[in-house]
Amino acid sequence: MRTFDAETTDLVVKTDIPVYSLCEHHLLPFFGTVHLAYRPNEEVVGLSKLTRYVRWQSRQLTMQERLTNDIASGLADELDAATVLVEMDATHLCEAMRGIETESTTTTRATAGEPSEAERDRFQAAINRTEGHQ
Print pLDDT tens along the chain (134 aa): 777 787 888 999 999 999 999 999 989 999 999 999 999 988 889 899 999 999 999 999 999 999 999 999 999 999 999 999 999 999 999 888 876 777 789 999 999 999 999 999 999 999 999 876 55
pTM of the model: 0.91
On the CB side of 88, CA atoms within 13 Å amount to: 27
Rg (CA), the chain: 15
Could you tell me which CATH number the domain at 3-132 has? 3.30.1130.10
Q: What is the DSSP string of 40-82?
A: -SSEEE-HHHHHHHHHHHTSSEE-HHHHHHHHHHHHHHHHT-S
Which positions are catalytic?
A: 23-26, 64, 92, 94
